Amino acid sequence: MTDTAPSADLPAALRERAAALDAADPLAHYRDRFVPSEGLVAYLDGNSLGRPLAATRERLASFVDGPWAARLIRSWDEGWMDAPTELGDTLGRVALGAAPGQTVVADSTTVLLYKLARAAVDARPGRTVIVADTENFPTDRFVLQGIAAERGLELRWITPDAEAGVTADEVAAAVGPDTALVLLSHVAFKSGYIADLPAITRVVHDAGALVLWDLCHSAGSVPLDLDADGVDIAVGCTYKYLNGGPGSPAFAYLAAGLQAEVRQPVQGWMGAADPFAMGPQYEPAVGIRQLISGTPPVIGMLPMRDMLALIEEAGMPAVREKSLALTAFAIELADEHLPGVRVASPRDPEHRGSHVMLDHPDFKRVVAQSWERGVIPDFRPPQGLRVGLSPLSTSFTELAEGLWLIRSLLP
């Protein structure tokens, strides 16, 4: 994939170093599978919206002419009806460490967070506290605020170090016999800090509560092993490292051992035991299908299939290794070439996801100006520039080009 000619301003030594990293990268050739973007110098926002794959263009066109036009409504019986669970099983195998029958693709992240969080607190009757952290993404916090008001529950907030993230000790201090649910992000959306998922899950279980993990910034970039780690419930989006496209549906994981106990509150016909019985009373489907409410977003699922195939081909361990190399290079470039900029992400690679947060008081202006010049990071208040590095579509040279242009915009 070639977007634009490289910047002539990049120093020769830095260009040579980036080129050497690209030459040694065993995943470099995967970049050619993505659609190029005219006028782009560097795309540093793959953790907000992944780039489209060339195969997806062909898949969408063939879908219109094939299952939609040729088979019409018959396609519901020929695959569409089972797509949420079938694709969920693929996602579970490729990126989540989840056995079949525990993952479903549906709705949006916000809707699934509501459905699963509400179901979790109802599954722990008599417990009156939900634990969450103040640094979590707004949707997670807003959903919990609504559920707490709706159910008359207390929200107990953990205030972590914004650059270190929530620790197992902080969770242990917050939970107790009154706790129904703990909701945390595996990878912090600002700092990129990776929480100790296995240890925190054990702490929550020791208190008798359920834990809901937000996987939006880890699915497809950080290896997960939900079954082995005893995770109860998880939710994530598919438009970041899974490259599902704008508005692509979210996914939910519900451990097999909880599926008979947890009942989600949005009782739609597609989650019924027999959707076409059209009966007078709702009877939930057995298993993971009960999490579905309305008509599956069949078209929205199509791009995910291409990216999951690509991730499976490359392997999650290799994806993670490339991610660590990219984020390490971003930190190196910031330290050496961005005067006055502070790295606000973990330097320990074991605690760092696939993005790096940089901090500077002028970054709101810098991000706006960099977009005009074909370098696309994103801004996070109050003064953070987030460098999102999707391993299969990002090169080291692209990263160097982007941060060097940002350097030119600093005062």
Give the dihedral sign, CA 224/236/319/44: negative
CB 120 within 8 A of CB 181: yes
322 catalytic, yes or no?
no
239 catalytic, yes or no?
yes
Please name the residue ranges forming H helices in 152-180.
168-174
DSSP-assigned beta bridge partners for residue 375: 42
379 catalytic, yes or no?
no
Catalytic position from the list 214, 232, 306, 359: 214
CB 202 within 8 A of CB 224: no
| Distance in angstroms (rounded) separating the CA atoms of residues 213 and 226 | 10
| Distance in angstroms (rounded) separating the CA atoms of residues 408 and 411 | 8
| Structural element, H or E, at residue 23 | helix 12-24
Catalytic position from the list 137, 193, 251, 329: 137
Catalytic position from the list 33, 115, 118, 240: 240
Catalytic position from the list 193, 239, 253, 329: 239
Catalytic position from the list 33, 127, 305, 386: 386
115 catalytic, yes or no?
no
282 catalytic, yes or no?
no
| Distance in angstroms (rounded) separating the CA atoms of residues 406 and 368 | 11
**CA 78 from chain center: how many Å?**
30
CA triple 289-291-295, angle to 5 deg: 80
Residues with catalytic roles:
137, 214, 239-240, 386
